[in-house]
């Protein structure tokens, strides 16, 4: 084991996602060994090396510190562009929350590496990273990993803050949603009592653009016949994602009470998934071997990319202009969500998790607005020069009538945006 965890940044492994047909070599500015478990020190070196080598794509920051004093790293993966990463729809990936997903760190690291090395030669990946953001926190529980690795190496855990800290609270029971201290001693004295879980939640609350959460399994399947844990329309939206993949949504797994996924879906309204690699027969206390890690790494980055591509994507259709009277015009515009997920989940709508799509109008005075619903129209709220539009289902559109005032031949700029659907702009000339 000692040999396995030794620093090995030289063994090359530029992963290519399954099924991609690539004609260029990967952009190997950094190479990492993906067949061993990283210590906290190694992880720090690897992440910093990546962020330094790919400044146009990666930004490394710390969400906080663990109880043992380790940094809780999070890598923001997004190509530089006109829209800030914080204003693009986003996926959040969390690794190593507890004993069951200690390998999540390596899979998350592999995902960062894959995105960095392959985006230039993979058009789909490049497009994804131009319009969406992927936040990857490879290790939420570094103290527990240190303790487990010490045990695996046969050395008794040396006393210290990291070891003591890792013994008390199960992070997957310490998040607020359905936190249950009556049933579970490991839930902690209060939700988010662990600085690691609190830092994670604070990071997420500061990013309303996070539309999907991904952690790593294994998870128990939800009992057949038990009450659905997800809104029907959200389950429908997840169907295409969970089909034929080892990706499970919170409707198919029994997410523990107090887990990150339960919090993500129930409070943030983010679609929450677990990726469960197929390790084959493996004792619950055993970590997968190096070869298995490498194989799973390929699947992990493909899954995260798939999630990113499914996020809501706003598009503005061609506008139709009609003169009403004098300088007053009606502009009919179609706002489409071209993504596989809605602009906000049904649960997110219930939780008022973030703002609905808005259309901002520049160049003309907005008089009023209405939504066309079949044969009927319905007035829309109009805060200032923007129009609030109800959330849009996947692959669906809403037709909006904008009543504006401006002289003929004026060019009016329309910008549609939503925290979890991105933005789209169009120009229309009043004639």
Partner 1 sequence: MSAQRTAGMASEAIELRNHGGRAVACALALCLLPSVALNAQDGGAAPRGTSAQEPAQKPPSGDPARPVQNGPPAPDSTPATNGTDTTPPQLPAGQRPVPPGGDEPTPEIVHTNVLPAYTPAYRSFADAALLLGALADADPTRARKFEIGATYDGRRVPAIEIATPGPTPPAERPTVFLFGALDGHSLSGAEAVLATVHMVLAAPDKLPSDVSLIAVPWASPEALDAIAKGGVSDGANSRPVDDDRDGAIDEDGPDDLNDDGFISQMLIEDPSGPWVRCADGRFLAPAGPLDQPRYLLVPEGRDDDHDGRYNEDPPGGVILDRNFPLARTSPWTDPRCGTLPLSEPLARAYADLVLARRAALVVVAQGNHGTLATPGGSAALAPLFAADRALYERITHAFESATGRSQSGVLTLREASGADRPGAALDWFAAVAGALSLEIAPWGPRVDHGGDVTARDARYQQPPSSDPARAQDVARTLSGKREPCETSRAWAAWIDNVHSGVGFTNWQPVELAGGVKGLVGGFEPWTILDPPKESLPTALRGVPEFVLDLVGSLPRVELAADGKRDGELVRLRASVKNSGRLPTGLGGACAARRESGVAVELVLPAGARLLAGDARVDLPRLAGEETSREIAWLVLAPAGSVFEVRTSAPWCASVAHKVQP
Sites of contact with partner 1 (CB under 8 A) = 176, 179, 181-192, 201, 205, 267, 350-352, 355, 381, 383
- For partner 1, the closer of residues 187 and 259 by Cβ is 187
Question: What is the rounded CA–CA span in Å between residue 232 and residue 131?
Answer: 28
Q: Which three-class secondary structure state does DSSP give residue 309? A: helix
Task: Report residue 27 CA to chain centroid gap.
Answer: 24
Query: Which two three-digit tokens encode residue 425?
Result: 């702009």
Least distance CB 386 / partner 1 (angstroms): 10
Would you say 176 or 317 has its CB closer to partner 1? Answer: 176
Q: Which two tokens stand for residue 70?
A: 């380790």
386-388, strands of its sheet edge to edge? 386-388, 358-362, 411-418, 422-429
Smallest distance from partner 1 to CB 267, Å: 8
Between residues 190 and 427, which has the closer beta carbon with respect to partner 1?
A: 190
Residue 183: other Cβ atoms inside 10 A: 9
Tell me whether residue 191 or residue 342 sits nearer to partner 1 (CB atom): 191
Contact 110, 116 (CB under 8 A): no
Show the DSSP H helices in 224-279 as ranges: 232-242, 260-266
Question: With respect to partner 1, which residue has the nearer C-beta, 217 or 348?
Answer: 348
Write down the least CB distance from residue 185 to partner 1, Å: 4
* Other residues' Cβ atoms within 10 Å of the Cβ of residue 406: 17
Name the residue nearer to partner 1 (CB basis): 138 or 208.
208
**Residue 53 to residue 58: CA distance in whole angstroms:** 9
Which one, 66 or 301, has the nearer CB to partner 1? 66
Residue 350 CB, nearest distance to partner 1 (Å)? 7
- How near is the Cβ of 381 to partner 1 at its closest, in Å? 8
CB of 210 to partner 1, least distance (A): 15
Judged by beta carbon, residue 188 or residue 339, the one nearer partner 1 is: 188
Minimum gap (Å) between residue 266 Cβ and partner 1:
9
Which residue's structure tokens are 């009609």?
Answer: 322
Give start and end residues of each alpha helix (H) in 279-419.
290-310, 346-350
Tokens for 197, please give them: 């879980």
For the CB of residue 66, give the shortest distance to partner 1 in the complex, in Å.
18
Contact 175, 260 (CB under 8 A): yes
Give the DSSP letter of residue 189. Answer: S
Round the CA-based radius of gyration of the chain to a whole number and report it.
Answer: 23
């Amino acid at each position: 084991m000692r040999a396995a965890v030794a620093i090995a940044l030289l063994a090359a492994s530029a992963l290519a996602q399954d099924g991609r047909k690539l004609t260029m070599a990967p952009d190997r500015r950094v190479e990492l060994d993906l067949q061993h478990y990283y210590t906290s020190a190694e992880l720090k070196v690897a992440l910093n090396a990546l962020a330094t080598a790919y400044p146009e794509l990666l930004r490394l920051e710390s969400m906080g510190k663990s109880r043992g004093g380790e940094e809780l790293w999070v890598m923001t993966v997004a190509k530089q562009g006109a829209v800030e990463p914080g204003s693009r729809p986003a996926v959040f990936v969390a690794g190593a929350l507890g004993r069951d997903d200690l390998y999540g760190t390596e899979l998350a690291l592999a995902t960062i590496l894959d995105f960095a090395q392959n985006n230039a030669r993979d058009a789909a990946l490049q497009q994804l990273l131009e319009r969406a953001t992927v936040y990857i926190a490879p290790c939420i529980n570094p103290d527990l990993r240190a303790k487990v690795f010490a045990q695996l190496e046969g050395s008794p855990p040396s006393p210290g803050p990291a070891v003591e800290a890792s013994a008390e609270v199960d992070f997957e029971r310490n998040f607020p949603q359905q936190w249950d201290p009556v049933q579970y001693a490991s839930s902690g004295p209060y939700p988010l009592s662990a600085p690691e879980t609190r830092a994670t939640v604070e990071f997420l609350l500061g990013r309303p653009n996070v539309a999907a959460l991904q952690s790593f399994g294994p998870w128990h399947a939800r009992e057949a016949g038990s009450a659905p844990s997800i809104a029907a329309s959200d389950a429908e939206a997840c169907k295409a994602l969970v089909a034929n993949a080892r990706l499970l949504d919170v409707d198919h797994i029994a997410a523990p009470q107090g887990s990150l996924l339960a919090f993500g879906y129930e409070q943030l309204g983010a679609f929450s998934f677990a990726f469960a690699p197929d390790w084959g027969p493996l004792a619950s206390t055993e970590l997968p071997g190096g070869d298995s890690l490498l194989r799973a790494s390929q699947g992990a980055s493909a899954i995260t990319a798939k999630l990113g591509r499914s996020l809501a994507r706003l598009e503005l259709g061609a506008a139709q202009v009609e003169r009403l009277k004098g300088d007053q015009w009606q502009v009919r515009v179609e706002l489409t969500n071209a993504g596989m997920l809605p602009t906000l989940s049904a649960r997110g709508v219930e939780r008022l998790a973030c703002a609905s799509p808005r259309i901002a109008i520049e160049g003309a005075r907005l008089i009023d607005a209405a939504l066309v619903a079949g044969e009927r129209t319905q007035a829309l709220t109009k805060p200032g020069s923007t129009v609030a539009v109800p959330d849009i289902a996947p692959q669906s559109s809403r037709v909006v009538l904008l009543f504006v005032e401006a002289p003929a031949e004026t060019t009016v700029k329309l910008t549609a945006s939503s925290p979890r659907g991105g933005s789209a702009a169009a120009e229309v000339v009043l004639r």
